[in-house]
């Protein structure tokens, strides 16, 4: 306040009362408000929890979008494209589109599997073996009943699942690699 020391206004302002008694006792209202223990703090915790949920949701969404966009050439091998070329009746093998896709994925798989733990590799091999056996069983059944639509559908489904497993393995190892890179 040194700027205004010689000023009558300043001197008068400094004399104004700084302590003024309220015309009524304000404590009862305060006491009632603080009787509820730490209400504001609890609200704050709810707000924090909501913020955490939003954060996790948003980060999951971003991760999903980012990973979804990094499927690489494997995602371009759509099952529809593959199985449109599948032949039935006298020949119970998939068409050339499927064979090409499976060969490409199998080649990638050998590279990708090397990055996985022995236990994971064993699990994947076991799953593929089950699928292969199922495909062989269905093919054998179709030998006896070439026009069985149900068996045909199951064969298509088994092929789809085999491709799906190959694709998931590729995605899994790519994610592992990305985390290591970070």
Partner 1 sequence: MSALLTANRSDYSQTMLPTTADGFADEAAWINRAQRSDTRAFESLYRLHVDKVYGLCLRMTGNVSEAEDCTQDAFIQAWNKLAKFRGDSAFATWLHRIAVNTVLGRMRSSKREQDRIQAVAETSAAPLATGDVGELRDLSEAVDKLPAGARHVFVLHAVYGYSHEEAGSMLGIAAGTSKAQLHRARRLLAQQLKQQGFEE
Binding site for partner 1 (CB under 8 A): 1, 4, 7-10, 12-24, 26-27, 29-31, 33-35, 37-41
Minimum Å gap between C-beta 13 and partner 1 is 4
Q: Which strand (E) or helix (H) includes residue 41?
A: helix 39-68
Q: What is the spatial distance between Cα 140 and Cα 151, in angstroms, rounded to a whole number? A: 10
Eight-state DSSP code of residue 93: S
Identify which of residues 27 and 46 has a Cβ nearer to partner 1 in the complex.
27
Minimum Å gap between C-beta 35 and partner 1 is 8
Identify which of residues 14 and 106 has a Cβ nearer to partner 1 in the complex.
14
Minimum Å gap between C-beta 70 and partner 1 is 45
Backbone angles phi, psi at 69, to 5 degrees: -80, 0
Degrees, nearest 5: CA angle 100-104-110: 145
Identify which of residues 34 and 50 has a Cβ nearer to partner 1 in the complex.
34
Question: At which residue do the structure tokens 């070329």 appear?
Answer: 85
Q: Where are the alpha helices (DSSP H) in 69-148?
A: 79-83, 96-113, 118-144
Identify which of residues 38 and 68 has a Cβ nearer to partner 1 in the complex.
38
C-alpha distance across the termini of the chain, in Å: 58
Minimum Å gap between C-beta 48 and partner 1 is 15
Q: What is the spatial distance between Cα 20 and Cα 154, in angstroms, rounded to a whole number? A: 88
Minimum Å gap between C-beta 47 and partner 1 is 14
User: CA–CA distance from 52 to each of 44, 47, 48, 96, 116 (Å)?
Assistant: 12, 9, 6, 50, 33
Identify which of residues 7 and 145 has a Cβ nearer to partner 1 in the complex.
7
């Amino acid at each position: 306040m040194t700027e205004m020391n010689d000023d009558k206004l300043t001197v008068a302002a400094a004399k104004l009362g700084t302590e003024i008694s309220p015309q009524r006792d304000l404590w009862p209202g305060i006491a009632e408000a603080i009787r509820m223990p730490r209400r504001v703090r609890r609200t704050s915790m709810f707000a924090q929890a909501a913020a955490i949920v939003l954060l996790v949701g948003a980060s999951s969404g971003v991760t999903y979008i980012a990973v979804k966009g990094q499927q690489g050439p494997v995602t371009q091998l759509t099952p529809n494209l593959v199985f449109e070329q599948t032949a039935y009746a006298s020949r119970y093998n998939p068409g050339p589109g499927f064979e090409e896709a499976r060969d490409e994925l199998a080649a990638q798989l050998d590279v990708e599997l090397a990055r996985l733990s022995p236990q994971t590799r064993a699990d994947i091999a076991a799953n593929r073996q089950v699928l292969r056996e199922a495909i062989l069983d269905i093919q054998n059944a179709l030998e006896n009943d070439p026009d069985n639509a149900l068996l045909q559908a199951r064969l298509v489904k088994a092929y789809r699942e085999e491709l799906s497993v190959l694709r998931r393995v590729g995605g899994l190892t790519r994610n592992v690699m990305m985390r290591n890179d970070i």
